[in-house]
Amino acid sequence: MKPARTSALRLGLVSCSACHLLSRKPQALDHGITYCPRCGEELHQRKPNSIARTWALVIAAMVFYIPANVLPMTITSAVGTVSADTIMSGVIYFMQHGSWEIALVIFTASVFVPFLKFIILIYLLLAVQFKLVKQPKDLTRLYRFTEAIGRWSMLDIYVVTILVALVKLGFLADIEAGPAALYFALVVVTTMVAAESFDPRLIWDVVGEKHE
Amino acid sequence: MHRIACHECDLVHDIPPMPARATARCVRCNAVLFRAQANSIDRTLAWTFAGLVLYVVAVSFPFLAMKNGPIFNETGLLTGIQLLFEQGIIPLATLVFLTCVLIPLIQMLGLLYIFVPLKLNVRVQYAMPVFRLFKHVKPWSMMEIYMLGILVSIVKLGKMATIIPGLAVIAFGLLIFVLNFALASVDSHMVWERLEGGS
């Protein structure tokens, strides 16, 4: 494999995000929408408004993260008593009742992973915006990592769904989804879309500019 | 020889014809550019058909049952989603339905729509938009996380009642692997070239 050692951007080529066809950059690309000559996907040299869009989504996710953690995730009513559980109170419950593995799994998926994604995405955004890229390979790896872990935050949403299904009316207890579940789902979706909106090629563009 | 740019760092590579099962990686950022597959069409079709059978079982048979003395409560994969709907938490119900029920089905039907005509050497309309859709939905298929959710729920309710896994859970668990094998057998580069060049 002999690399041309140049980016498609500098060669005046554009790579299709769906079928990866490399085509000559059309004149109209800077002015309006153009489509891949092979598969018809919208062509972009870089993901459109990548930085602004990622910032907006990260900030939105951080806002949703607060009610997701403060409000109750599940509301359990058993023989006259009603108890509301937040994510953290669930984690603490498991720790006190000996299932520390489950406590760890829930804490990692629901509290730690979203938090880590905020930190990494903000770090990547700042690195690209202020052109402070020293180790582009490490930053790309960090990006791949955030892209891969985000989906695991869905765990608690699924647990709520399964609990609601299993413990329904007719039983001694009844579990309902609390308001935090919706905010939490929004956190997961917005952070996933945020990671998808960030274009890792921007990291390498910074390095490319410096070498010129 | 064909030319492609790395989707993660934009470096241009000239790639010679690759032997089956070889992986091309970007020399600069190490991203996987693509993997050439042996018998991509046959293997993808075989796994997809197996997946569809498992899917039907996972959706239609009892998923989990909960037993507590005389009370016996049996649920299906769709029960929780339906109950969330009834509680008025529609966005949440929709999200679970999409990520664990609808998108895996779209993935499998999409694969059939692309690969059956390729196998039979015929052309179908909208093959390219379907394959593009197939690529876009991939990150939103989350069955393996649902499976972990089941484990957590079993531990959570373990003190209240006995949880009995049904046939559908087993099918669902197997489907996670089978669908992943199907996806791993897809040789995207070959598919795009064949869709472009005609059969």
The secondary structure of B167-185 as a DSSP string is HHHHHHHHHHHHHHHHHHH
Q: What's the pLDDT score for residue B69? A: 76
Q: What is the pLDDT of residues A170-188, one digit of tens each?
A: 566 788 888 999 999 999 9
Q: Which of B64, B2, B6 is nearest to B31 (CA)?
A: B6
Residue of A71, A107, A166, A186 best to disrupt the B interface, most CBs of B under 10 A: A166
Whether residues A41 and B142 touch (CB distance < 8 A) is answered with: no
- CA–CA gap between residue A200 and residue A95 (Å, rounded): 39
Q: Buried b vs exposed e over A120-139: b needs ≥16 C-beta within 10 Å?
A: bbeebbebbeeeebeebeeb
Distance in angstroms (rounded) separating the CA atoms of residues A85 and A68? 11
ipTM: 0.88
- The least confident of A49-63, A96-110, B46-60 is A96-110
Model confidence pLDDT, tens digit, residues A48-67: 999 999 999 999 999 999 99
Amino acid at B163: I
Alpha helices, DSSP H, located in B61-198: 79-86, 90-97, 103-120, 127-137, 143-157, 167-185, 188-197
Q: Where are the domains of chain B?
A: 1-36, 39-197
Instruction: Note the pLDDT tens digit of each residue in B73-104.
Output: 788 888 878 888 887 788 889 999 999 999 99
Question: Which 8-state DSSP code applies to residue A28?
Answer: G
| Residue A210 pLDDT class (50, 70, 90 cuts) | low
* B66: chain A residues, CB-CB within 8 Å: 166-167
CB pairs under 8 A between A and B: 200
Q: Tell me what pLDDT residue A2 has.
A: 47
Tally of CB atoms within 10 A around B109: 14
Contacts of B75 in chain A (CB under 8 A): 165-166
Sign of CA dihedral B118, B121, B123, B124: negative
pLDDT tens per residue, range A190-203: 999 999 999 999 99
Nearest CB to B84 within list A137, A161, A189: A161
B2: closest CA among A26, A136, A15? A15
- A192:B139 CB<8 A: yes
pLDDT in tens, A14-35: 999 999 999 998 887 777 889 9
Output phi, psi for B123, to 5 deg.
-105, 145
> Pairing state of beta strands A74-78 and A81-85?
antiparallel
Of B8, B79, B128, the CB nearest to A39: B128
Q: Chain A partners of B99 at a C-beta cutoff of 8 Å?
A: 154
The predicted model gives B37-49 an average pLDDT of 95
Q: Which residues of A touch B87 (CB under 8 A)?
A: 164, 176-177
**CA of A185 vs chain B CAs: smallest distance (Å):** 7
Closest partner residue to B27 (CB to CB) among A3, A22, A170 is A3
Pick the CATH number of A48-211 from 1.20.140, 1.10.357, 1.10.3470, 3.20.20: 1.20.140
Give the residue-averaged pLDDT of B109-123: 95
Ranges of CATH 1.20.140 domains, chain A: 48-211
Higher pLDDT, A111 or B198: A111
pLDDT class for A1, splitting at 50, 70, 90?
very low
Which residues from B are below 8 Å from A159, CB to CB?
A: 149, 152-153, 156
